[in-house]
Amino acid sequence: MDKQVHTSKTMRAGSLSPTSTISATSLDLSRLPPIAIFTAHLKDGEETMVKETLRQYNAPLTTDVSRAKIFIGKVGTKRRAEFELRSRKLVVEEVVAPKRPASPVKVDGHSSKRRKVSGASARAVPANEGDSTTEDEAREDSETEDEANGGKQYTLLSSPSGSDRGARAVTIFEDSSDADIIWVIKVDWLHACVSAGRLLPLGDNLVYKSRVLERPKSLNTKSIRAIFSAVPKAAPASQTLLASRPHPMQDIVDRAKADAPTTSKKSSYQPPRFGNHASHHFKDKTFAPSSQHAGHSYASQTTHLLQQTTSEYEGEDSDIPQPPEWVKKGVKFACQRFTPANGPNEDFLYQLKKIRTARTLIDDDIGVRAYSTMIASIAAYPFKLSHPREIAQLPGCDEKTAILFVEWKNTGKIQAVEDYENDEAMKVLRSFYDIWGVGAKTARHFYYNNHWTELDDIIEYGWNALDRVQQIGVKYYDEFLIPIPRAEVEHIGAVVREHAVRVRDERITVTIVGGYRRGKTTSGDVDIVVSHPDLESTAGLVRDIVESLEESEWITHTLTMSLTNTNRGQNALPFRSARATGVGFDTLDKALVVWQDPAWPSRERDIAVNPKAKNPAIHRRVDIIIAPWRTVGCAVMGWSGGTTFQRDLRRYAKAVKGWKFDSSGVRSRSTGEAIMLEGPDGVDGTPEDAEKMVFEGLGLEYVPPEYRVTN
């Protein structure tokens, strides 16, 4: 992974960087009290930016109001802060500090009165301006009267970028020993800290400080996040594999063993009081240690593992094959390399995919993307992995990936995967996540908020609260989990084509995309792209096809019917227009339906006995997508690649071409206009030919669909 230096350019007024780059500064928010976000007045995407920025700097982010002590958001007045707290069932009273004269502070050995400063312009005292870091001096650096009062303190280390003389202790938040205090602060404080690369006093960014009289009861009675995300703070750099890195290809094992004298066998580390936040790939600890490792830092565990079990890797450098060109060149986009199914490292990838699923279930979006990147990179590697150095050289992988490989190679398992598979709460979340129409967020809501632990709970207590898609997902839960063989997928595609031709003509094209086109032996659902060379023939086509299939009893439920593309004249939606109106870019006409073969062997006999005899045929999920001929190549391309392939295709189009790509077409990010990479309507050819033209227009080598397996 390329480490990028975070600069002030990534921070604009009123916005945070969502990129989670590793900063060269010393900003560390891990010792803050638990932080919750006020979502009011945060525009689309801003909440995610704030959340990801807090996570990047190890802030203890929480959604549990019963334990949050800091609330951050776009809150400008005490009255608004009181309202937000009251709406969360927090009973509070304002803390009003007595006025007191400013304390003198020594500067260069002379006493002088402290100048009052405020907001982001406040200058933290450099570490070299004093040798002492006592509590008294920390209080003198405090910005407000409230912060200067005595009591229990959350001491935060803040030092200017580049300082090598140690960090000056700056007290930002404090609490009296017998009070439960809450701070409401403006998000501007976070902007300022990230820009400065260090903690800054609150100043005018402190909106409201209150004493809690009553908190709501915690709903997270079984906090799986605490199990999988609350990890001890990493050991000092000299005790980790990231230390002493003269060359990126230096052997990881050798460095770990060289560091052995500085790492005691038994760590005296005590986890920070406020550390229950989801880690991510860039500061990755994978998961919290299992019970037998409680009290040891992750760095100590991993180094210990390598010292004891990796002697077999010594002297194997000569056996490492020469890496392919994409590895040598550091090609980071999955759409620029060939990734086949069933590669030589599927057993290891199977373990990593389980960790990624766990990250999904604990709402660690950054971790999910990071694991997806490393999985796609390893999947494209054509050789059987035998040495951790091989992994470290792959784009998107690093020492932590190599540590997982060493653990799996030497023990036959990964402890994080064992924890994930054996945890009862995770089993419940997985079962809910498998419901069609239920994402990870909803699954967590079912479990943590509603305290449901099985499908029967959803049916008994929450059926009327489900939307129609979720109700169908629960009703046919077991059937939807049964894989669809290729022969059945092809049969469904043939039936769709038959009815499409019936409502139009023989020039209709039907392309089965998704996992089937990538060569999977079975599919979870069936995705079909339908098109026609004449523009007027694709207008309203999805409605006509679905009505014809319903009449023939192939479709039992139509859950989504979208005619957005038809309603706007099937013109590509300009990029700027889409962004301004908040409309999604993938605006093709489509229908999501439940499919069932209307014929079964004993149909006539069963109906003769009972005219309302139930069809025993299994229900399937089918998506029918309609693409105009002018952009059918983008549609086929957008629905054929694995998840990471498609993500990197969009990233590549943005980074290299300055374009916006999705399955409905390509648009310029500068002018907002559509870019036509395919032929006009009515020309001869096939959707596959059009897809190749899109690859060419993007400047990419054509990757056959069976080599886009990046899941």
Annotated domain spans of the chain: 1-103+114-218, 237-420, 423-480, 484-707
Question: Within a 10 A sphere around the Cβ of 339, how many other Cβ atoms?
Answer: 27
Helix (H, G, I), strand (E, B) or coil at 39: coil
For residue 22, give Cα distances in angstroms to 37, 576, 585: 22, 31, 30
Average pLDDT of 377-395?
Answer: 93
- Are 405 and 443 in contact by the 8 Å Cβ rule? The answer is no
Beta pairing, strands 659-662 & 665-668: antiparallel
Q: Check residue 418 and give its pLDDT.
A: 94
* pLDDT 10s digits, 12-23: 333 444 333 333
Residue 406: the pLDDT is 94
DSSP state of 565: H
Alpha carbons 542 and 622: distance in angstroms, whole number: 13
- Which value, to the nearest 10 degrees, does the dihedral of the CA atoms of residues 399, 401, 403, 406 take? -130
Question: What pLDDT sits at residue 316?
Answer: 52
Mean pLDDT in the chain?
75
Which amino acid is it at 64? D
Smallest CA-to-CA distance from 211 within 255, 174, 164 is with: 174
549: CB partners within 8 A, 6+ apart: 495, 496, 499, 555, 593
Between these two residues, 515 and 399, which has the higher pLDDT value? 515
- Residue 385's pLDDT band (boundaries 50, 70, 90)? very high
- Confidence category of residue 453, pLDDT binned at 50, 70, 90: very high
The pLDDT of residue 39: 85
- Which pLDDT value is given to residue 284? 38
Amino acid (1-letter code) at residue 635: A
In sequence order, what DSSP letters do the residues of 180-223 get, joined into one string? -EEEEEEHHHHHHHHHHTS----GGGEEEEEEEEE-PPPS-SS-
In the prediction, which pLDDT does 312 show?
A: 52
How far apart CA 598 and CA 553 sit, in angstroms, is 6
Bigger pLDDT: 438 or 139? 438
pLDDT for residue 207: 92
* DSSP code of residue 465: G
Rounded to whole angstroms, how far apart are CA atoms 576 and 586? 14
Whether pLDDT at 130 is above 80: no
What pLDDT was estimated at residue 262?
39
pLDDT at 65 over 60: yes
Q: Is pLDDT above 50 for 306?
A: no
Measured CA to CA, the distance from residue 160 to residue 199 in angstroms comes to 9
pLDDT of residue 507: 95
Question: How many residues would you count in the chain?
Answer: 711
Task: Dump pLDDT digits (tens) for 551-570.
Answer: 999 999 999 899 988 888 87
What share of the chain in percent tops pLDDT 90?
Answer: 47
70-73, strands of its sheet edge to edge: 35-37, 70-73, 181-186, 206-214, 91-94
Distance (Å, whole) CA 586 – CA 588:
6
Answer for the pair 402, 392: CB distance below 8 angstroms, yes or no: yes
- The region of weakest confidence among 77-81, 300-304, 484-488, 520-524 is 300-304
Q: Supply the pLDDT for residue 4.
A: 39
Domains 237-420 and 423-480 equal at CATH topology level: yes
- For 237-420, CATH gives 1.10.150.110
How far is the C-alpha of 482 from the C-alpha of 80, rounded, in Å? 51
For the cut 50, the answer to whether the pLDDT of residue 550 exceeds it is: yes
Adjacent-strand bridge partners of 668: 659
Q: Please name the residues in contact with 41: beta carbons below 8 A apart, sequence gap of 6 or more.
A: 73, 74, 75
Query: Looking at the predicted structure, is the pLDDT value of residue 710 above 80?
Result: yes
Amino acid found at 292: Q
Taking residues 233-247, what's their average pLDDT? 37
Residue 408's H or E segment, with its range, is helix 399-411
Residue 290 DSSP class: P
Q: pLDDT tens digits for 421-433?
A: 999 999 999 999 9
Check residues 21 and 636 and name the one with the higher pLDDT.
636
Smallest CA-to-CA distance from 649 within 607, 579, 697 is with: 697
- CA 546 to chain centroid, in Å, comes to 35
Distance CA 353, CA 347 (A): 10
206 phi, psi to nearest 5 deg: -80, 110
The pLDDT of residue 378 is above 50: yes
Distances (CA, A) of 462 to 222, 361, 467, 532: 20, 21, 10, 43
**β strands within 581-640, DSSP E:** 589-596, 619-626
The fold of the 484-707 domain, in CATH, is Beta Polymerase; domain 2 (3.30.460)
How far apart, in whole angstroms, are the C-alpha atoms of residue 275 and residue 677?
Answer: 50
Cα 298 to Cα 9: distance, rounded to the nearest angstrom:
33
pLDDT above 70 coverage of the chain, percent: 68
User: How many alpha carbons fall within 13 Å on the CB side of residue 670?
Assistant: 4
Identify the pLDDT of residue 302.
41
pLDDT over 90 (residue 652): yes
Confidence at residue 243, expressed as pLDDT on a 0 to 100 scale? 34
Q: Are 71 and 84 in contact (CB under 8 A)?
A: yes
Residue 521's pLDDT band (boundaries 50, 70, 90)?
very high
Q: Are 109 and 143 in contact (CB under 8 A)?
A: no
Least confident of 27-36, 160-169, 567-576: 160-169
More confident site: 216 or 312: 216
Report d(CA 490, CA 512) in Å as an integer.
8
- Range 188-193, long-range pairs (CB < 8 A, 24+ positions): 188/119, 188/120, 189/72, 189/120, 190/16, 190/50, 190/53, 190/54, 190/72, 191/11, 191/13, 191/14, 191/16, 191/120, 192/119, 192/120, 193/27, 193/29
Q: In this structure, what token pair is assigned to residue 90? A: 């927090």
CB-CB neighbours of 558 under 10 Å: 16
Closest of 528, 431, 514 to residue 473, by C-alpha: 431
**pLDDT, position 56:** 80
- Higher pLDDT residue, 187 or 97? 187
The continuous run of DSSP H or E covering 541 comes out as helix 541-551
User: 584 or 395: which carries more pLDDT confidence?
Assistant: 395
Bigger pLDDT: 516 vs 682: 516
Local confidence band at 141 (pLDDT 50, 70, 90 cut-offs): very low
**Mean pLDDT over residues 333-340, rounded?**
96
pLDDT of 576-588, one tens digit each? 544 433 334 457 9
CA distance 690 to 312: 51
What is the reported pLDDT for 58? 79
For residues 632 and 308, the model is more confident at: 632
Rounded CA separation 461/471 (Å): 13
Query: Does pLDDT of 642 surpass 80?
Result: yes
Pairwise pLDDT comparison (591 vs 89), residue with the higher score: 591
Answer yes or no: is pLDDT of 491 > 90: yes
Examine the pLDDT at 509 and tell me if it is beyond 80: yes
Integer Cα distance of 635 and 587 in angstroms: 11
Look at residue 407 and tell me whether its pLDDT is greater than 50: yes
Average pLDDT over residues 486-503: 98
Q: Which helix (H) or strand (E) holds 455?
A: helix 455-462
Beta pairing partners, 184:
71, 208
pLDDT number for residue 594: 97
* Closest to 231 measured CA to CA, from 128, 364, 111, 351: 364
pLDDT at position 479 is 96
Tell me which of 647 and 129 has the higher pLDDT: 647
Q: Cα–Cα distance between 296 and 294 in angstroms, integer?
A: 6
- The DSSP symbol for 446 reads I
Measuring CA to CA, which residue among 532, 600, 590 is closest to residue 566?
590
**Amino acid code (one letter) for 213:** L
Q: What 3-state class would DSSP assign to 523?
A: strand
pLDDT digits (tens, 9 = 90+) for 22-42: 333 468 887 888 899 998 888
Residue 318: the pLDDT is 54
Q: Which of 49-63, 228-242, 604-618 has the lowest mean pLDDT?
A: 228-242
| 392 vs 405: CA distance, rounded Å | 10
Reading the block at residue 402, the tokens are 């190599």
DSSP 34: P
Beta strands 589-596 and 555-562 are: antiparallel
User: In this structure, which topology does domain 423-480 adopt according to CATH?
Assistant: DNA polymerase; domain 1 (1.10.150)
Beta-sheet pairing, 509-512 with 206-214 = unpaired
Q: How confident is the model at residue 143 (pLDDT cuts 50, 70, 90)?
A: very low
